[in-house]
Structure 1
Amino acid sequence: MFQKDNCHMEWELLGIILAGMVTFTCKFFKNPLVLPSPMHSNQGRETRFDILRGLAMIGIVMIHIHSYFQFFHPADSFIIKNTLLLSNLARFSVPIFILTSAIFLRKKDGYWNSKVKHLVLPYTLFSILGYWIKYEDHTLNEFFLFYILGKVFTPFYFVPLLLQFYLVFYILNSILINEKWNSLILAISFIINILSNLGIFDTILPIQYHSISIFNYIFFFILGVQIGNLKFAQSQNKGNSSFTLFVYFSVFLGLLIVFSHSYDMDLKNHHTIYPIFFLIFVWNFLDNINPSLSNILSYIGNQSLFIFLLHPFIIHFMHSIDPYTFGGPFLGYIVTLILNVVIPIFVAFIIQKGMFLYQSRHLT
C-alpha cells in the first residue's frame, strides 16, 4: 500500500510540474491557451462538449474492459498489460464527465425536477433491475445501502457522486458564481483534490464513503462551474500554444505509458493534472477532427446516460463469455468495446422512439 501511494504521489507531482511548465512556457512566449467556453461567438451552445463526453464515455467502457479481460486471462501478461495501459489512458473520463456536467448547471425553476426525471428515475429503475439480476439474496436494507452508495454495479457510484455536486451547487450557488471569489475557490478546490488523491482524508471519512467522496473530484466540478460562467467565447488566436501543448502532452503521454507498464497498477480516476491536460489538448485540436467522427462522438456523448447505466448489464452478462471467442484478444477487445457502446445506444433509440410515438398519439 505504501509503495502504491508513493507511486500515485509521484505521478501527481509529475503532472503538477509539467502543468507549471506549460503555463510558464505559454506566458513567457505570450502564446494564449485556448480554454473551453460554453458559448460560440454567435452565442449558440458549444456542442463540442458533447464530443468530449463521447470520448469520456468510450473511456469509461475501456476501463471496465480491462477488468473483463483480467477475469478470464490473468496469466496472459502481454494482453493484460496493454488492456491496463488503455484503462489508464482512459482515466480522464470521470473527471471530464464531472466537469462537463457542471458547465451547464443553472439554478432555476425546475432545477430538481429535471434532475429527478433525467437522472434519479433512470438510476433507480436500473438499480432495482441490476440488484435483482446480479445478487441472489435480496434484502431491502442491502439494496438501499447499495443504492445510496452506487454499488449495485461498480460504475453506478457516479450518480450519487453527481447528485452531491448538484446539491452543493444548489446551496452555494451565489458563492460559486461570484467572480471575485473565482481564483480563491479554484485554488482551494485544487488543494483539497490533491490532498484527497494522496489519501489524507481516508482516515477521517467513513470507508464506505470513499468511492463517492466529492473531495475526489471537487476541483473538476469547480472548474466546470467557472467555465460555464464565462461571459464570452475564448479567442481562437492560438499562436504557437497548440504546438507547445502538443509537445508537453506527448511527453506526458509517453511518461504515462512508461509509468503504467513499469508499475502494473491502475491509476485513480481522479488524478487532477492528466484530465486537465487532456481537456485543453483535445479542445485545441477538436476542429481538426474528421466531421463524421465528430458527429459519431457527439451522438455517443448525447446518449451517455443510457450507455453509462446499461453497459454494466452488458459487461456483467459477458462475464460468461471468454472475450477471446470474438476472434482472439485484439479483435475481442474491439468487439467488446463496440457491443458495450452500440447496444445501449440501440436500446436508447427504441425507448426514445417509443416515447416520441406515444406523445405524438396523445397530441393528435
Structure 2
Amino acid sequence: MEWELLGIILAGMLLLTYNCFKIPFEMPSPTDVKEKREIRFDILRGFAMIGIVMIHIHSYFQFFHPADTFIIHNTLFLSNLARFSVPIFILTSAIFLRKKEGYWISKFKHLILPYTLFSILGYLIKYKNYSLNELIEFYIFGKVFTPFYFVPLLLQFYLLFLLLNPILLQKKLKPWILLLSFSINVISNLGLLNQFLPEQYHSISIFNYIFFFVLGINIGSTKKSSSISSDKSKYINVVFFTIFIVLLILFSHLYGTDLKNHHTIYPIFIMIFIWNYLNYFNSFIANLFSYIGNQSIFIFLLHPFIIHFMHSIDPYSFAGPFFGYIFTLLLNVGLPILISIIIQKGKFLYRSHRLT
C-alpha cells in the first residue's frame, strides 16, 4: 500500500514538473513516422520477458539458499526491478488489438492451443496424483505453473475488448474511462476489492491490470508519434528513475519487501524511461530484444518447465551465485528461443516440401 501511494505522489510530482517547465513529452504510439509498426513496443516486450524470468530466478535462488541474505536480497532487488513486466505485457498486447475477421482464430492458434498443450504436459510432469477436476481447475485459473495465470488473464481482456470496443474508442469518453480504470486499478491494488471477489479469482483478476489495458487501447488508437522529446525530459526521467532505483534498493535490502506485479505507477515510469532511450540502442541489441519480444509468448510458456527441472540443481553449482544467476537467465531465455527457431525451421521445410 505504501509503495502504491508513494508511486502516485511521485507521478504527480513528475506531471507538475513537466507542466511547470513546459517540457515537451513524447507519447508512445503504435506507428513510427514512416507509418510502419513501431518496433519499440516489441523491444519493450523483450525487456518484459527477461524481467519475468528474473522474477522466477529469485524464487529459484530463495528455494536453495534462503539463509544467504546478501545474495537473496540482490536477487530480490532484480526481481522487484522487473515488476513492470506483466503490466507492460498487458499494455503492449492491447496496443495492436483490432476487431476484425478471424479475431478468435488467431488467438486460438497462437495462444489458447499452445497454452492448452503446455498446461496438460506440465500437469503430467509436475503432479503425481492426477485428477481431471484438478486439471480443469488449474487450466482455467492458470495454476499448472505459477506464471501461467497470465494466459486466462489475457483472454479476459481480449473478451472485454470485443464487448466494450465501441465505448473504449470514443474520443470524448477516453479521458474519463482512463481515469476510471486507474481508480479501479489502485483500489484493487490496495486489496479493497478482494472481499467482493472469489478467492480463486484474485490471481487472474482483470481489475489488477485494467488501467494498463485501457492505456494500451488509448495508445493503440493514436495515429503516429510526435517525436518531440527533449534533453530536459530525458534528464528529468533519469532523476525520477534514479529515485525509484534507490527506493527499490531500500525496500529490497533493508525490508526484504517482495513487490507485486500490478502496481500502477512503477511500470509507467519504466516504460517512459526505456522509451526515451531506445533510439540510442545499437541495432544488434535492438534486434535481439525485439526478437525476444516477438517470441515472448512461446518463451513465457516454455521457461516454467526449465526452471521447474532446475529446482533439482543448486544454482551455486554453476560456478557460484553470480555465474549461476547469469547461466540460469541465459538458459531460461535462450533454450526456448532455440526450440522456437527449430520449430519454425521445421515448419518452413515442411511447407517447402509440400510445395515441391
Matched, 1:78 2:70: yes
- Cα distance in structure 2, aligned partners of 1:233 and 1:93: 23
Instruction: Say which SS state the counterpart of residue 269 (structure 2) adopts.
Output: helix
- Cα distance in structure 2, aligned partners of 1:293 and 1:33: 25
Q: Percent identity?
A: 69
Q: CA deviation at 1:237?
A: 4.3
- Cα distance in structure 2, aligned partners of 1:56 and 1:288: 19
Matched residue, 1:335: 327
Matched residue, 2:57: 65
**Cα distance per residue 1:273-330 (max 9 Å; x no partner):** 0000000111011111222111111111111111100000000000000001100001
- Cα distance in structure 2, aligned partners of 1:53 and 1:235: 21
Matched residue, 1:197: 189
Q: CA deviation at 1:128?
A: 0.6
One-letter identity of the residue aligned with 1:101: S
Matched residue, 2:207: 215
Matched residue, 1:122: 114
Q: Map of 1:168-317 to 2, 5 A cutoff?
A: 168-317=160-309
Cα distance, 1:82–1:237 mapped onto 2, change above 3 Å: closer
Segments of structure 2 that go 5 or more residues without pairing to the other structure are none
Q: CA deviation at 1:356?
A: 1.2
One-letter identity of the residue aligned with 2:76: L
Matched, 1:103 2:98: no
Instruction: Say which SS state the counterpart of residue 33 (structure 2) adopts.
Output: coil
| CA RMSD, Structure 1 to Structure 2 (Å) | 0.9
One-letter identity of the residue aligned with 1:246: V
Matched residue, 2:127: 135
- Cα distance in structure 1, aligned partners of 2:249 and 2:7: 14
- Cα distance in structure 1, aligned partners of 2:35 and 2:96: 14
**Cα distance per residue 1:83-138 (max 9 Å; x no partner):** 11110000000000000000000000000000001000000000010000000011
Instruction: Say which SS state the counterpart of residue 224 (structure 1) adopts.
Output: helix
Q: CA deviation at 1:262?
A: 2.3
Normalised TM-score (structure 1): 0.96
Matched residue, 2:26: 34
Segments of structure 1 that go 5 or more residues without pairing to the other structure are 1-8
Count of matched residue pairs: 356
Q: CA deviation at 1:239?
A: 4.9
Cα pair 1:41 1:233 within 8 Å, conserved: yes
Normalised TM-score (structure 2): 0.98
- Cα distance in structure 2, aligned partners of 1:35 and 1:333: 35
Matched residue, 2:40: 48
Instruction: Say which SS state the counterpart of residue 175 (structure 1) adopts.
Output: helix
Cα pair 1:48 1:298 within 8 Å, conserved: yes
Instruction: Say which SS state the counterpart of residue 196 (structure 2) adopts.
Output: coil
Q: CA deviation at 1:357?
A: 1.2
Q: CA deviation at 1:214?
A: 0.1
